[in-house]
Amino acid sequence: MTHDPYAPAAHYDRVTTAWGLLLGEELHYGVFAGGDEDLATATGALTTLMLQGAQLAPGLRVLDVGCGTGAPACRMASEYGVEVLGITTSAVGAAAASARASAAGLAHASFEVRDGTDNGLPTDGFDRVWIMESSHLMSDRQVLLSESARVLRPGGRLALCDIIRRRAIPFAELRDRRREFALLRAAFGAARMDPLSDYRSYAERAGLTDVVCTDITAETLPTFDRWQDNLDEHRDTVRELLGLEGVSEFEES
């Protein structure tokens, strides 16, 4: 068996420290209401949109699937008084998230290395499931949604945010732009994007009801400028972490 450096766990183990400098504390896109917000404000705004959808309340139990380094999970535990279990396939991410929770004194936020498509957790064990910008790295979206629905208690809610594909990509375009797609894979891992309508179908086939879908693509686009600004500011440190080739791949992508 060969080791795939672009598989989610291996990729995140390699890039997590550098991405904290490049993508910010929350490691995800931002929502820019006016376009001139700083990255921390915009990423916080996206988390807030997710929180509005999740409808948290004190005492609820939340499963964060693909928890990154734990920033949203710790915010949930701190601001809403919920118990959060964050899971990720990256041991580096889980350790960083645990350290974040410990430093903040959050006893009700814990983190484990588990697979979101086969989490091994009890059925009906959580009031909320939270999936933030991680599903595109899981090859079977339907299994992910079905497994997430399985662990939800009756009346629970699932909040999911991710990158979507907004049009079909013909084979000829894939062939002609294969270098660009390979570059994205090298920079961001082996990802696949699905249309927003597919996510609705996955959720409904998993038995979820009252599914609401919103496309916020336009509001997220300034994120890329902020990532470039962060690279310009931290270029030397990021080069030490990712190497010259890694810096070039991230910048061009």
How high is the pLDDT of residue 200? Answer: 97
pLDDT at 3: 60
C-beta atoms surrounding 49 within 10 Å? 15
Percent of the chain with pLDDT over 90: 92
- What pLDDT is stored for residue 6 in this prediction? 67
Contact (CB, 8 A) for 194 and 165: yes
Q: Which two tokens stand for residue 246?
A: 């890694």
Least confident interval from 13-22, 80-89, 102-111, 142-151: 13-22
Predicted confidence at residue 1, as pLDDT, reads 39
CATH topology of domain 8-252: Rossmann fold (3.40.50)
pLDDT at site 2 = 43
pLDDT digits (tens, 9 = 90+) for 205-252: 999 999 999 999 999 999 999 999 999 999 999 999 999 999 999 999
Mean of the per-residue pLDDT values of the chain: 95
Whether 163 shows a pLDDT value over 80: the answer reads yes
Q: Which helix (H) or strand (E) holds 97?
A: helix 91-103
Residue 160 pairs in a beta bridge with 131
**Residue that has been written with the tokens 């979206």 in this structure:** 141
Q: Where are the domains of the chain?
A: 8-252
Is it the case that residue 128 has pLDDT exceeding 80?
yes
**Confidence at 12, pLDDT banded by 50, 70, 90:** confident
Residue appearing with tokens 């959808």:
53
CB-based contact 127:151 (threshold 8 Å): no
Spatial CB neighbours of 123, under 8 Å, sequence gap ≥ 6: 150, 151
